[in-house]
Structure 1
Amino acid sequence: MKKLCWVLKRSISINSCLNCQYRQIKNMVNTEAVEAMKAAKAIVPSLRDDGHKGSSGRIGVVGGSLEYTGAPYFAAISAFRVGCDLSHVFCCKEAAPVIKSYSPDLIVHPVLDAPDAPDQVFPWLERLHVLVVGPGLGRNPKILDSTARIVEAWRSEKKPLVVDADGLFLAGKYPDILRNYPGILVVTPNVVEFPRLVKTFCETSGSEEDKTVQAKCLSQELGQFSAILQKGQEDTITSSEGCVWAVKAGGSPRRCGGQGDLLSGSLATFLYWASQTAPPEKAGLVAAYAACKLIRDCNSRAFAEKGRGAITSDMLHYIPAVFNCLFEK
């Protein structure tokens, strides 16, 4: 009987300890989320009557080919919906009329497959605040070469850069355009693209299971102001300082194409705002967190309404309402 009482007391003691540890971990996670959201809200500029066209950001998207017209559109229009003032798309000639037909709000440049594409794009770079490279870019070797030259020119400007989709494939072929990037850089690999990036940039990357170690290695190789946004069931953002933020809430089981383009485009606008208000080593981390929260919540709402039939256009529709709920209240 005494032994049984001792076992029960011991069990209660262990359970109490475990419950205490659980509450501590939960409180730590909640505190981190609160601090991250506070930082995200802090970068959003107020709308003022004395603003001018461009004061909230001028975004450029490099991508768009004969096969892929939706990706650059979703990236550019989501940047616009989040709140930038001007949104440009630099695409192939065949893609331009299609992208223009999607929206008259975008400025579309049909130059990417021209023999002198870089020379045609260079004059625009000084007017832009953030460049997004990759959505719908395709893998035509000539276009990839031209895009690499555009990124090299952008690199010399030391301006914020977002690299997504085929832009990550480009980085695998031309790693020096991203290695030790001198400005603020955010790369957005999915579960397939992430190990390829690690293999390209990291000599010692840790075990395959240790994604945190790999992400820290990758961010350090890409530059002191870089951030790695690993997309997945939960999104994980790692800064070159080793700070790691996770975004778990929202999202849905729907995995239709185009969601990553909404993320990269909205990230571009947040990144410009963060570059104006946050320390450069934190700007990518905060902007990526804000974009993940926004798009995951848009995804969640669209899925609640449309279920299995939800598509990226439905998610795009929710950006204004979700933005207002997350960042304006």
Structure 2
Amino acid sequence: MPVPRHIIEQFKQLIPPLNGSLHKGQSGRVAVLGGALDYTGAPFFASMSALRFGADLSHVICSPTAASAIKSYSPDLIVHPILREEESPDSLKPTLSSLLSRLHVLIIGPGLGREDYMQRFAKLALSLAKEQGMFIVLDADALWMVGQDLALIRGYRRAVLTPNVAEFKRLSEQADIDPNTPPKERAMQLSRVLGGVTVLQKGGEDIIATHTGGASAKDREASKVSTSQEENTEEQISIDTPGGLKRCGGQGDILSGSVGTVLAWGKCYEDGAYGDKTLPSSRISLLAAAAGSIVTRTASKRAFAKHGRGVVTQDMLGEIGGAFAESFVAEGDKGWGASNL
């Protein structure tokens, strides 16, 4: 089933123009929080895919034990080794709050792990990001974290969750979703229980669901969601864009970085950096999930076509630009600006 045309056209409104009118940072400032002793690849893939998708700046907030490795992977990344095991959340809070205030989106989870100190810092970052009205992507062990306390994310509609099959099953159980619910209705059920959080359920086809009712006035204010007629709507779409035939570890990190970049573009659009601001903010999370899914699946297909069974996630990074153009740039358009050059 093709992606609804209105989704594509609305997404194109969020694409920053490539006409020399923007300065550095107005095409998105993204951060990935994750990266501990055993996990350095995941935050690299998420943050690097953000750059390959089109973000201007990509930061990694990590443990000092992961920083040297991540820095060595690419000089394009800005690495902040501030998640020290011996530090308390209270002492870290001013530094982390100041850093997040300069960014558009926070991706929590790639390479996070489940060590107590990393989980504490992730909770702190999530709280600060919500206070600042940031868009948020939650993946991997950040999903495990919010599964332990769904109140951490409930009602925050500027968040996108990206669970795989196992993570979605666990979250559904933690949210008391009826196991007899038809499979294609479970993502929407989870979004409802979580008060309108956008759910991107990864699988043979990606199911994206968002329910915009049920949040408190405080959550609406934090999420900057309109109290108009959009408040009680819900929407679900499926993305069955062909991908590669091998599923290697790390592709979910590519997706997180891709979704995060579109959310960052959405924040720039919302702030008036470009565009006519006719698109409501409540659409941005759904559009980001859809565009990120399409490009990630297309990049996987392109990498698999070149490398076959031997494809690895690193091969996908170089395909993101081509996947974006294949998916969204019409013949005759110059660059990635699509409809708004």
TM-score (norm 2): 0.82
Which residues of 2 match residues 158-307 of structure 1 at below 5 A? 158-181=133-156, 183-201=157-175, 203=176, 205-224=177-196, 226-240=197-211, 241-275=233-267, 276=270, 277=277, 278-307=279-308
Alignment of 1:11-160 (within 5 A): 29-30=1-2, 32-114=3-85, 115-116=87-88, 118-119=92-93, 120-160=95-135
Structure 1 residue 266: Cα displacement? 0.8
Runs of 5+ unmatched residues, structure 1: 1-28
Find the aligned partners of 2:68 and 2:264 in 1 and give their Cα distance: 28
How much identity, in percent, do the aligned residues show? 41
Q: Partner letter of residue 236 of structure 1? A: I
The code of the aligned residue for 1:180 comes to G
CA distance in 2: counterparts of 1:256 and 1:184, whole angstroms: 29
- The 8 Å contact of residues 29 and 57 in structure 2, kept in 1 or not, is answered as yes
Task: Give the CA deviation at 1:60.
Answer: 0.8
Higher RCO structure (Cα 8 Å, ≥6 apart): 2
Tell me the alpha carbon deviations over residues 18-75 of structure 1, each in whole angstroms, 9 at most, x when there is no partner: xxxxxxxxxxx44x53332222223212123131111111111000111110100000
Provide the residue aligned with 1:20 in structure 2.
Answer: none
Task: Please tell me the residue identity of whatever aligns with 2:266.
Answer: A
Give, in whole Å, the separation in 2 of the partners of 1:192 and 1:286: 24
Cα deviation, 1:113-157, whole Å, max 9, x if unaligned, reads 341453232210110100000000011012201211121111111
1:314 counterpart = 2:315: yes
- Does the CA-based 8 Å contact 2:164-2:201 persist in structure 1? yes
Q: What is the total number of aligned residue pairs between the two structures?
A: 296
TM-score under structure 1 normalisation?
0.85
C-alpha distance in 2 between matches for 1:279 and 1:210: 31
Cα distance between partner residues in 2 of 1:135 and 1:160: 16
Distance 1:65 1:104 in 2: 19
CA distance in 2, matches of 1:175, 1:316: 33
Post-superposition CA distance 1:278-315 (Å, at most 9, x none): 32332111111111110101100111111100110111
Larger radius of gyration: 1
CA RMSD of aligned residues (A): 1.7
For each residue in 1:3-27, what CA deviation from the matched residue of structure 2 results, as whole angstroms up to 9, or x when unmatched?
xxxxxxxxxxxxxxxxxxxxxxxxx
**Cα distance in 2, alignment partners of residues 206 and 215 from structure 1:** 12
User: How far apart are the structure 1 equivalents of 2:180 and 2:304?
Assistant: 32
- Quote how far apart the aligned CAs of 1:223 are: 3.3
**Deviation at residue 250 of structure 1 after TM alignment:** 1.7
Q: Which runs of 4+ in 1 moved over 4 A?
A: none
Aligned mates of 1:45, 1:148 — CA distance in 2: 31
Q: Which amino acid aligns with 1:266?
A: S
Letter in 1 for 2:149: Y
- Unmatched 5+ stretches in structure 2: 212-232, 271-276, 331-341
Provide the C-alpha distance between the structure 1 equivalents of 2:62 and 2:234, rounded to a whole number of angstroms: 35
- SS of structure 2 residue aligned to 1:243: strand
Q: What SS does structure 1 have at the residue aligned with 2:207?
A: strand
